[in-house]
């Protein structure tokens, strides 16, 4: 199976909210102390993603000290009255993310779009530009900034948690989205440990908890732009900038 080279990015922001499922049912939300694998994949997908491939986040390094701040949020109720709830955000966050991509084997109709060199080139250029779409740290009100870093920087930039091992317990890991109308949506949870500020994510097959969900409607995939067209557009933009 094809596997791209590793990519490394820095993602930072003033605040983040990686909502714990335990607090999603009420009006007051609280963040996990670190980003989930699914949240990180969402950030990477915002940098560059196509149905042709799947981005795989393998590691994240937590650079800054984990701190929280409480915000009062006025929520509009169904009867048009207002209620004050509280949201616990992470503040002043910085994460170094290691990832790669593999072909999406469920989209055999896109085999002609599997041109690894062009996809890797577009990914690298998208990282340098800070992403093709806005990057959010868990929720839309938490805007993130993306920077390109090297493998050496990823390995040598210090973490506040160097020399420390922290057991974060069972955390939400990711979703497995259905590929047809008969397959259900599944969620995965896993025991998570941070060593020297680094969390290494397990594949879904190794997660300890698997839940089957029913609140997802499968959508038939449509036409997408080919990687050749994408690559030509990038070249035209860069020539125009020069």
3-class DSSP state of 232: helix
Encoded tokens for 69: 């701040």
3-class DSSP state of 130: coil
Q: Return the H-helix or E-strand segment holding 74.
A: strand 68-76
The CA distance from 108 to 3, in Å, is 17
Which of 112, 100, 1 lies closest to 49 in space, CA to CA? 100
pLDDT band at 184 (very low <50, low <70, confident <90, very high): confident
pLDDT band at 230 (very low <50, low <70, confident <90, very high): confident
pLDDT band at 151 (very low <50, low <70, confident <90, very high): very high
Alpha helical stretches, state H, the chain: 37-47, 116-128, 151-156, 227-241
The DSSP output letter for 140 is T
Judge whether 113 and 106 are in contact, CB under 8 Å. Answer: no
pLDDT tens-digit readout, 154-168:
999 999 999 999 999
Chain-wide mean pLDDT for the chain? 90
Burial of 78 (0-12, 13-18, 19+ CB in 10 A): exposed
pLDDT tens-digit readout, 55-84:
999 999 999 999 999 887 766 666 666 667
The CA distance from 215 to 223, in Å, is 25
Residues in the chain: 242
The CA distance from 202 to 149, in Å, is 23
């Amino acid at each position: 199976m094809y596997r791209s080279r590793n990519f490394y990015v820095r993602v930072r922001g003033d605040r983040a909210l990686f909502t714990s499922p335990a607090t999603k049912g009420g009006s007051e939300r609280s963040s996990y102390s670190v980003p989930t694998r699914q949240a990180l994949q969402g950030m990477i997908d915002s940098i560059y993603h196509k149905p042709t491939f799947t981005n795989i986040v393998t590691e994240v390094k937590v650079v800054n000290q984990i701190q929280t701040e409480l915000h009062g949020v006025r929520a509009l109720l169904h009867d048009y009255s207002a209620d004050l709830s509280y949201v616990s955000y992470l503040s002043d966050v910085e994460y170094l993310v290691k990832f790669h991509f593999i072909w999406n084997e469920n989209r055999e109709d896109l085999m002609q779009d599997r041109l690894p060199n062009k996809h890797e080139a577009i990914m690298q250029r998208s990282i340098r530009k800070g992403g093709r779409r806005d990057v959010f740290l868990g929720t839309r009100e938490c805007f993130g900034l993306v920077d390109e870093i090297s493998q050496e920087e990823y390995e040598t930039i210090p973490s506040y948690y160097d020399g420390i091992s922290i057991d974060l317990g069972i955390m939400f890991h990711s979703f497995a989205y259905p590929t047809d109308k008969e397959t259900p949506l599944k969620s995965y949870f896993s025991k998570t440990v941070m060593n020297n500020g680094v969390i290494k994510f397990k594949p879904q097959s190794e997660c300890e908890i698997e839940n089957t969900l029913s609140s997802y409607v499968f959508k038939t995939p449509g036409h997408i732009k080919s990687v050749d067209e994408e690559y030509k557009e990038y070249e035209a933009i860069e020539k125009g900038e020069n």
